Amino acid sequence: MPTPYSCVLVDLDGTIVDSAPGITATLAYTFVELGLPVPPPAQLLAYVGPPLLDSFRELAGFTSQQAATALAIYRARYLSVGVFDATVYPGMAWFLATVHEHRVPLSLATSKPETPATMILTHYGLANNFDVITGASDDEVRSAKADVVAEALVRLAALGCDVSKPVMVGDRIHDVHGAAAHGVPTIFVEWGYGLPAEAVGAVGVVSDVAELQRLVVGT
- pLDDT computed for residue 1 by the predictor: 56
Residue 139 — very low, low, confident or very high, per pLDDT cuts 50/70/90?
confident
Side-chain-side CA neighbours of residue 33 (13 Å):
16
Query: pLDDT tens for residues 52-98?
Result: 988 999 999 999 999 999 999 999 999 999 999 999 999 999 999 99
pTM (two decimals): 0.92
Query: pLDDT tens for residues 160-213?
Result: 999 999 999 999 999 999 999 999 999 999 999 999 999 999 999 999 999 999
The fraction of the chain above a pLDDT of 70, given in percent, is: 100
- pLDDT computed for residue 49 by the predictor: 81
Residues 6+ apart with CB under 8 A from 150: 182
Q: Which domains does the chain have, with CATH numbers?
A: 7-18+86-217 (3.40.50.1000), 20-82 (1.10.150.240)
Based on the number of CB atoms within 10 Å of its own CB, is 216 exposed (0-12), middle (13-18) or buried (19 or more)?
buried
